[in-house]
Amino acid sequence: MIDFQNVVGFNYTEALPGGAWLKDSVGNVEWYPHVEIVKELGEDWYSRQRSKQGWMTGCWIKVEKSA
């Protein structure tokens, strides 16, 4: 299980629609369904990550800490 307070990576892929891979600051990686990500981090957070990823699904993007 990852530490939702320290997510540093996000990877949405069309191969597994309905969720995304998340990586925390100590290197834990796990796939979570959309509903669980939204429950832990919020719909706005998820939407921001998806919009940053753009059409390059399946690639890791860096998650910036919110101010």
48's enclosing H/E stretch is: helix 43-53
Q: Which residue has the tokens 């990686």?
A: 29
| Mean pLDDT over each residue of the chain, to the nearest integer | 91
Residues 6 or more apart whose Cβ sits within 8 Å of residue 30: 1, 2, 21, 22
pTM, two decimal places: 0.89
Q: Residue 65: pLDDT above 90?
A: no
Q: Residue 48: pLDDT above 90?
A: yes
